[in-house]
Amino acid sequence: MNILYDHQAFTGHTYGGVARYFYDLLRCLTQEEGVTFDLSLLLSNSEYLANRPFANHFTFKPLAHNQRANQVASVLNRMNSIRHLRAGRFDVFHPTYYHRYFLDYIGKKPFVITFHDATSERYADQFPDVGQHLPELKKVLLNRADRIIAVSEFSRQEIERFFGIRPDRVDVVHLGTTLGETDTTGLQPLPYEYLLYVGKRPLYKNFDRFFKAITPLLKRHPELHLVCAGGGSFTPGEQALFAAVGLSGQVHQHPITDASLLHLYQHARAFVFPSLNEGFGIPVLEAFSGKCPVLLSDRSSLPEVAGEAAVYFDPENDESMLSAVEGLVFNDARRAELAALGTERLKLFSCEKTAHQTLQVYRELAP
């Protein structure tokens, strides 16, 4: 069986959750018997493919943030993917994002689409640049796909809610992480105790409200800091928020690599994820891999992923958030208990398991 993947997730972004998902999938599929794959890619600035493990593409990382270069790369990559589709030397096609260009060229070959989340549908007002464009693309592909992979049971329910797709057309395949395999040799811990927040900070991630909720704790404990890993530098609005309560010196943003991120998890008092909506929540598994105690919003997919290995709070209740953090951050016995539970919970998830279950979906279509 030969699977064809296209260029979409690996064009225009140096990093990204969707690109990481497909990179890990392809990497683990190389260990499976009876399957080969082609990645149709000419130009990429993806760090995951920096060593060209799956395609003989050209890299243009020096121009990674050049809009014109990315536009040219996108056009050339799409033409290359169309060439592969027309050649027809594949059994199943798995596009790496939601553009429907391929529908005119796939013929009668089956295709699988992975659905990650319905955030842009649930919080449409927070995605004005998307408008109806992305939801319409999703709708077309979800209705046309031969099988749909959802990254969680919650995401499968979102597909039914927002797109009216029958659940029996959807296979749930959980994700995994390889962050725990990263070498952190030589990295030094930060010189203060800290809570760890990971990723971007748009409204639905609930960062501002979380910060306001724990402000009393940070004021009472000046030795405790809040570290934001990744997600870009603080905006002027965020800086003003911290300054207004006199906490600018206790809140920090750190750019990250895999090694520095794992190191931050390993030394944090706790990882906090106050998000209102996640399709899966990879940072939960990352925290488990770093033996970091986990504090989670009780919404969306997060309880499905973490099970009993986390402390939960209501992300729309300030007292609930503050109480959860206060009850854990200085309780070393409970922190150790949660770290152990997380280590056990992590055994249920792996990139190898993701690849194996995805291959089973392919084989349903082309046995």
Nearest to 166 by CA among 175, 156, 174, 176: 156
Residue 198 pLDDT more than 80?
Answer: yes
Residues 298 and 301: their CA atoms lie apart, in Å, by 9
Q: Per residue in 25-74, pLDDT tens?
A: 999 999 999 999 999 998 888 888 887 788 777 766 655 567 787 788 88
Q: Is-contact 288 183, C-beta < 8 A?
A: no
pLDDT on residue 71: 86
pLDDT on residue 70: 79
Q: Is-contact 247 219, C-beta < 8 A?
A: yes
Residue 285 pLDDT more than 80?
Answer: yes
Nearest to 269 by CA among 334, 210, 320, 212: 334
Q: Per residue in 133-155, pLDDT tens?
A: 888 999 999 999 999 999 999 99
CATH of 2-176+350-365, one of 3.20.20.150, 3.40.50.2000, 1.25.40.10, 3.40.30.10: 3.40.50.2000
Proportion of the chain above pLDDT 90, given as a percent: 86
Residues 52 and 42: their CA atoms lie apart, in Å, by 11
Distance from the Cα of residue 81 to its chain's centroid: 25
Higher per-residue pLDDT: 108 or 131: 108
pLDDT on residue 63: 58
CATH 3.40.50.2000 domain position(s) in the chain? 2-176+350-365, 179-346
Q: Per residue in 116-134, pLDDT tens?
A: 999 999 998 898 877 678 8
Residues 295 and 284: their CA atoms lie apart, in Å, by 9
pLDDT on residue 52: 75
Measured from the Cβ of residue 157, the count of other Cβ atoms closer than 10 Å reads 16
Among the residues of the chain, which ranges form H helices?
A: 17-29, 67-87, 119-122, 133-144, 153-163, 207-220, 236-244, 258-267, 282-289, 302-306, 318-329, 332-346, 351-365
What CATH number was assigned to the domain covering residues 179-346? Answer: 3.40.50.2000
Claim: this prediction has a pTM higher than 0.85: yes
Which residue has tokens 């939801």? 135
Residues 117 and 234: their CA atoms lie apart, in Å, by 25
Distance from the Cα of residue 162 to its chain's centroid: 21
Distance from the Cα of residue 95 to its chain's centroid: 17
For the record, the structure tokens of 98 come out as 């939601």
